[in-house]
Structure 1
Amino acid sequence: MIYFYRKPNTSWPAIIHTLESSLSKVLVPFYPVAGRLRSVGGGRFELDCNGKGAVFVAAELNPELVDFGDFTPSTKFDQFLIPPIDYSVPIDEVPVLVAQFTKFECGGISLSIAMSHVVADGKSMANFVAEWARLARGELLQTAPVLDRKAFRAGEPPSAVPRFDHSKDFGNHPFLLKLPSAEEVSKMKTTMVRLRLDKGQVETLKKMANNQSRGKEARNRAAATSFLIVIDSRSRIRQPSPTGYFGNAIFDIATCHADDLMSQPLSYGARKIRGAIEKVTDDYVWSAIDFLKNESELTKFQYSYKSSKIGGGNLLGNPNIGLVNWVNLAFEGMDFGWGKEIYYGPGYHEIDGDAWLLRGSDDQEGSLAVLLCLLEDHVEDFTKYFYEDL
């Protein structure tokens, strides 16, 4: 997560002091993110609340804000705006939280924040950032984190045999053409693109989602494709988790074959996604938890890990899309004492198929933007087909 701000009136040393002192204060109630993860085997982790602390970096850069254009994430984000993380060391040496405050030549500033997804999801991270900003402004903590994981039966044995078949929900699907060799993977280059949708285009898409006209012929009719949807399970259980619950939610996957998706109208794909969301009920959530608890080895489900042996390294697998909806997450308007940001968004990602849905520009009500990571060779065709009927 990266925030960009115009030149503040506050001095550089004063801002650094404010951020450091307020971070120290917010880590008291949010103490788990000052700890470290520890592998316990079978693809499982424990969170050791050992107080080793977070990493905070202050940096100055020659580039100006205008040099980042429309702030579409690029390799420059990783190179200059995010503290480097050494993933070659044991995981218990990797910080759970890192942040970097950067001052540009023009006086503009940025604040990047990265938190382990094993520890917290987007909603939890948004709460953390909001409370950090609140303390930086000299205000009191408003929503303390609820750290009791018993809300989702953490640490308890499975209560029953899963009532649903989750084998496809957490599984993986092959590449559209073939599993690439190590040499082919090394040549694959990804980039991030921003696809803008004005209000009129959004309305057109909504109509298309209910349109029964047929699509195009699929190039590989038998290929399976997945649309990974992040679902907040807090509100899906009959006894909702406490306000401020700090942790992670589960996800669900809508799957079909390329032939079905391409030959059927867009409404077919929309129904598949809607059906995947609607099936996540109270019973489904607890069944999924029991399923994972009954599995002796979880590594096979960690498809986005760099150690993944399916899909090739960092690549999610090119028939698949993983979309995170940030429209309803409270990431906007983070004022640390020098005003609200002029832009916020994710950092640079290298996983083919990762996507984020964001609000569009402030001067275009109802507009949206899609940030998407694609193989460079696929960008032109994907962009063409994305806008073709809009």
Structure 2
Amino acid sequence: MSEIKIEIISRNCIKPSTPTPPYLETFRLSLLDQLSPNIHGNSTFFYPYNSTNDPISEFSTRSKLLRKSLSETLTRFYPLAGRLQDASTIGCNDDGAFFIEARTDSPLSDILGSPDFNRIQHLLPTSDKETVEISNGSMLLVQFTLFGCGGTTVTISLTHKIADIAAFIALIQSWTAACRGVAEVAVPELDIGGSLFPQREILGMSASVHIAAEKFKARRFIFSEFKVGELRSRIISALGKEAEFKPSRVEVVLALIWRCAISSSRSKTGSFKPSALFQAVNLRPRMDPPVPDSALGNFVWPFAVMAEEEGDLELQELVKKMRKSMKEFLEKKVNKFKGDGFGAVMEALKERGELFKKNKDILVYKCSSWCKFALLEFDFGWGNNVWMTSVNNLVSNTIALMDTQDGGVEVLVTLDEQEMDIFEQHQELLQYALRNPSIII
């Protein structure tokens, strides 16, 4: 497959349209923000060309509109225009976000016809060293790329330090509304995180589960709505009289992915190792009162599901374990977050440390489900995106799930290179999933 060649047209620092007042110059992060890694997550949105105008002229017009509306949006989300001062504070100095214009002669169909993460990585603002240096610690970077066919992509690179998936979507919804000229744009709530989870001195501790690998691969799989139903029926049948609940789409797909990942590791090493799957839970709807999606910050915490013996790897067993662990977390842990957030965090970190101390060779996987989040409805004024993807070039052993347009599930998986070579050929996986099909537009 030919390499995609990107030409940087311009780099612009985008400052809030209205300066941030001096009394807001310091933004204190919440406890959960303190524990979140200062790394950028990248999300790329794909837009086919839908105009009869000259593509280059149209690109210029749209770029100006994006920059103007981003400036307006940063006035509402003013911490994103600042710079991280330390692990607990943002200096809201209006240093700005960075907006990069780029172009390529390649048609958009080259990527949508056969999505390849190595090629998509060229669409990320964080992949350009000069941009990273010039941006000088920018918390938000955007790359707007024009393709030879007139199609475009918008890649948004936002630090995890201050935003979970709900906050990210709130930002994009506010930006797209401003870009379309909506009269009343929702205003984010910025103080909830700090009031619910006051920051504390927690030197040397991290809530993130970082799984490093020297070399790893990212792959994409699609489970159609029909295949998800087929897999669910198989698992319900295996549960038999124990089928007291109907497994969710996420549970059945994740059980199969996890099982095949463990199998791939065993094929590589020649031995079975206990495994922990950390699943991220959205705390927002579970707080009292619920935290709105418009609140900036992190309101997510992971819980662990354990597969300690080979007998645990039957799909129905993994589903039961996921459901039981989730239930225990919701019934026994979430209430503690509602009260003494610091105590709940310290207890969870202690339990995690004991888990790793007890199982030094444990296989760790980290899962985030973006299902039920509207990731295919971002209209800047020229129609919804036909696809969204997130390139992970930092951490291995990750699993991300999101909805497809037809009710199925799209899965992005990263694994050690050798394990991925085995994983993507796994017959049980391919019985239910398509390996990287084209994006139909």
For normalisation by structure 1, the TM-score amounts to: 0.76
Give, in angstroms, the shift of residue 131 of structure 1. Answer: 1.0
> Does residue 346 in structure 1 map to residue 390 in structure 2?
yes
Distance 1:79 1:276, change over 3 A: same
| Structure 1 counterpart of 2:74, from 27, 47, 69 | 27
Q: Counterpart amino acid of 1:342?
A: V
* Alignment match of 1:265 (pick from 311, 314, 329): 314
How does 1:171-190 map onto structure 2 within 5 Å? 188-190=214-216
> Do the aligned partners of residues 276 and 189 (structure 1) sit closer, same or farther apart at CA in structure 2, a change above 3 Å counting?
same
Contact 1:55/1:99 (8 A) holds in 2: yes
* Equivalent residue number for residue 342 of structure 2: 290
Q: Which secondary structure does the structure 2 equivalent of 1:245 belong to?
A: coil
1:78 pairs with one of 121, 126, 145: 121
| 2:85 paired with 1:38 | yes
Residue 232 of structure 1, CA deviation: 1.0
CA RMSD of aligned residues (A): 3.6
**Corresponding residue number in structure 2 for 1:127:** 170
The separation in 2 between residues aligned to 1:355 and 1:346, in whole angstroms, is 11
Residues 137-169 of structure 1 show CA distances to partners (whole Å, capped at 9, x for unaligned) of: 1113432100013442324799xxxxxxxx9x9
* Pairing 1:262-341 to 2, within 5 Å after superposition: 262-278=311-327, 279-281=329-331, 282-286=334-338, 289-291=341-343, 319-341=363-385
Q: 1:104 aligns with which of 133, 147, 151?
A: 147
Q: Does 1:251 align with 2:293?
A: no
Query: CA 1:70 to 1:290, structure 2 compared with 1: closer, same or farther past 3 Å?
Result: farther
Indicate conservation of the 8 Å contact 1:230/1:323, yes or no.
yes
Provide the residue aligned with 1:205 in structure 2: 231
Q: How far apart are the structure 2 equivalents of 1:131 and 1:68? A: 28
Rounded to whole Å, the distance in 1 between the matches of 2:75 and 2:178 is: 12
- Residue in structure 2 matched with residue 370 of structure 1 by the alignment: 411
Shift of 1:170: 4.9
Deviates more, 1:19-28 or 1:65-74: 65-74
Count of matched residue positions in the alignment of Structure 1 and Structure 2: 343
C-alpha deviation, 1:70, in angstroms:
4.3
Alignment-mate amino acid for residue 383 of structure 2: G
3-state SS in 1 of match to 2:88: strand
Q: 1:114 to 1:284 in 2, by over 3 A?
A: same
How many Å separate the matches in 1 of 2:147 and 2:313? 50
* Alpha carbons 2:276, 2:362 under 8 Å: kept: no
The CA deviation at 1:375 is 2.1
**Matched residues in 2 for 1:256 and 1:232: separation?**
20
Alpha-carbon distance, 1:103 to partner: 0.1
Give the 3-state SS of the residue equivalent to 1:231 in structure 2. strand
1:150-165 aligned within 5 A: 150-155=194-199
Deviation, structure 1 residue 49: 1.7
User: 2: distance between equivalents of 1:154 and 1:73?
Assistant: 42
Question: Deviations along 1:342-365, whole A, 9 cap, x unmatched?
Answer: 2112124342222221223x3xx3
* Residue in 1 that maps onto 2:31: none
Q: Give the letter aligned to residue 370 of structure 1.
A: V
CA contact (8 A) 1:223 1:258 kept: yes
Q: Which residue of 2 aligns with 1:67?
A: 110
Structure 2 gap segments, 5+ residues each = 1-42, 241-258, 354-359, 433-441
1:31 counterpart letter in structure 2:
Y
Does structure 1 conserve the Cα–Cα contact (< 8 Å) formed by 2:126 and 2:157? no
Q: Secondary structure at the match of 1:280?
A: helix
- Cα gap change, 1:253/1:170 in structure 2, threshold over 3 Å: closer, same or farther? farther
Query: Contact 1:252–1:277 (CA<8 Å) still a contact in 2?
Result: no
Residue 3 of structure 1 is aligned with which of 33, 45, 51? 45
Residue of structure 1 equivalent to 2:429: 387
Cα distance, 1:132 vs structure 2: 0.4
- 1:232 equivalent in alignment to 2:282: yes
Residue 379 of structure 1: CA displacement? Answer: 2.2
Question: Match of 1:374, as an amino acid?
Answer: L
1:320 is paired with a residue of what secondary structure?
Answer: strand
Equivalent residue, structure 2, for 1:16: 63
2:127 pairs with 1:113: no
Write the distance in 2 (CA, Å) between the matches of 1:340 and 1:243: 21
- AA of the residue aligned to 1:25: E
Q: Residues 64-107 of structure 1, C-alpha deviation per residue, up to 9 Å, x if partnerless?
A: 112214463512222344344669x99x9411100000001111
Identity of aligned residues (%): 21
Question: Aligned partners of 2:103 and 2:178: how far apart in 1?
Answer: 24
- Is 2:182 aligned against 1:139? yes
Q: Higher helix share goes to which structure? A: 2
8 A contact 1:55–1:97 mirrored in 2:
yes
| 8 Å Cα contact 1:33-1:54 kept in structure 2 | yes
Cα offset, 1:27, TM superposition? 0.4
Letter in 2 for 1:114: S
Deviations 1:5-46 (A, max 9, x none): 11142612111110010000010011111111222xxxx432
Output the amino acid matched with 1:3.
F
The answer for the alignment partner of 1:191 in structure 2 is 217
For the residue of structure 1 that corresponds to 2:163, the secondary structure is coil
